[in-house]
Amino acid sequence: MKRTMYIIFIFLFAALFWATVGIAQVEEMAIGNTFGVGARTMGMGGASLALADDFTALYWNPAGMAQIQKFELFSSFSHNTASTEAYFT
């Protein structure tokens, strides 16, 4: 019985992490942002989670806000952020 519970626990634990990885890969579908935030991060293909020490930390990695050393003010214009796609079957 103890072994069965151990195996069930392992499968549930693994399923939890697989679901998290799956959601992380579909950011565009999850929050509707197809453009991203910040030229530096977008230039790196969205791979600057550890480097988020500027205003983009709010979007990419909120824990990175602890690394911000100076005051920053940011303004931007994002044209056509609403999704205008329609799917028909």
Is residue 3 scored above 60 in pLDDT? yes
Average pLDDT over residues 48-67: 76
Distance of CA 72 to the CA centre of its chain: 22
- Number of helices followed by number of strands (H, E) in the chain: 4, 0
Phi-psi region of 80 (alpha: psi -120 to 50; beta: other; left: phi over 0): left
Could you tell me the residue ranges of all domains in the chain?
1-32, 44-75
Give the pLDDT confidence score for residue 89 in this predicted structure.
Answer: 63
Per-residue pLDDT reduced to its tens digit, 4-50: 988 888 888 877 766 655 555 555 555 556 667 777 777 777 777 67
Average pLDDT over residues 62-82: 73
d(CA 87, CA 79): 22
Tokens matching residue 69: 């050393």
Query: Taking the model in full, what pTM does it have?
Result: 0.45
